[in-house]
Chains A and B, each alone.
Chain A
Amino acid sequence: MMVPLSWYLIFSAALFCVGLFGVLSRKNAVAILMGIELMLNAVNVNLIAFWRYRSPSFIAGQAFAIIVFAVAASEVAVGLALIISIYRRRNTVVADEIDMMKF
């Protein structure tokens, strides 16, 4: 256990930023969701790292991580279903072209 906490935090910050880049720069809506998954994973690494380094006997970090798993699963389920539905109606998954609500 000779890895300092800062390494984990830097790693998860980097993962978060890569995910953010994906969300902001991708055209394909499915790929945007992939970016969001990366960000959620970065959050989870942080939660577990804090649990391990700050309060191993208090389980809150792990319980939060469990909830993040549930949220990630529901987000993917609904997000992808929306994308499929949009694709069926409008024949596109490019996020820029889904602009019915735009003035």
Chain B
Amino acid sequence: MTPMQIIFILTAAATLSAAVLVVTTRNIIHAALWLIVSLFGVAVFYVLLNAGFFAVVQVVIYIGAIAILFIFAVMLTRRLMSDSGPQSNTNWWLAAVISVLLFVGLIWMLSSWRGVTGEPPVLKSNIDTIGLLGRALVSPDGFVLPFELASVLLVAALIGAIYVAWERK
């Protein structure tokens, strides 16, 4: 057990238990707060994977914006949702069976793949992943088209969402 592995296990346990609480807790605001904990755990994983940029982006986008949006949406749709009473539908057991089956299937699939073990290649100390990413995102033989398309997608999403949510007076 190296320190890294201990950190991994602790974070994974915290993240997964938070995720379970997200999908089971009755109070929907609590679910949103647990979602934040879970997303924060994922950010820690990005740090462990030497992708610090993504860890910070995760916090900025998910915790700073998406979680806030969730909480606002819960508040906007609050009036009739009482916290008491079951929050799961009648065939939740079927959902549980499907999820467990999928998990078992994925593990089985992973165990039959050779590439799953093995050490990660050593990152060169002078490698500048953010620079690489920046260049890849705007170079024509890289990802410039998906990059601009993502921008257009976000514009479309903004205008569409405003159109849908706007209260006409």
Partner-B contacts on A (CB < 8 A): 1-11, 13-22, 24-28, 30-31, 33-35, 37-38, 41, 44-45, 48-49, 51-54, 56-57, 59-60, 62-63, 65-67, 69-78, 80-85, 87-88, 91-93, 95-96
**Contact flag A87-B77 (CB < 8 Å), given A15-B16, A17-B102:** yes
Q: Across the interface, do A28 and B73 meet the contact criterion of CB distance under 8 Å?
A: no
Contacts of B14-61 to chain A: CB distance below 8 A = 15-16, 19-20, 22-23, 28, 31-32, 35, 38-39, 42, 45-46, 48-51, 53-54, 57, 61
Please list 15 pairs of residues, one from A and one from B, whose beta carbons are closer than 8 Å in the complex, sorted by A's number: A2-B119, A8-B45, A21-B23, A24-B94, A49-B49, A52-B120, A56-B50, A67-B150, A71-B150, A74-B153, A80-B69, A80-B70, A87-B77, A92-B80, A93-B80
Contact flag A33-B70 (CB < 8 Å), given A62-B129, A63-B137: yes
Check if B116 sits within 8 Å of A5, measured CB to CB.
yes
Asked whether, in the complex, the Cβ of A54 is within 8 Å of the Cβ of B115, the reply is yes
CA distance A97 to B53 in the complex (A): 42
On whether the beta carbons of A13 and B106 are closer than 8 Å, the reply is yes
Q: Are A25 and B96 in contact (CB under 8 A)?
A: yes
How many B residues, CB 8 Å from partner?
Answer: 90
Taking the closest CB of chain A, its distance from the CB of B62, in whole angstroms, is 8
Residue of B22, B94, B106, B167 touching A38 (CB-CB under 8 A):
B22
| 0 or 1 for each of B56-82: is its CB under 8 Å from A? (1 = yes) | 010001100110011001101101110
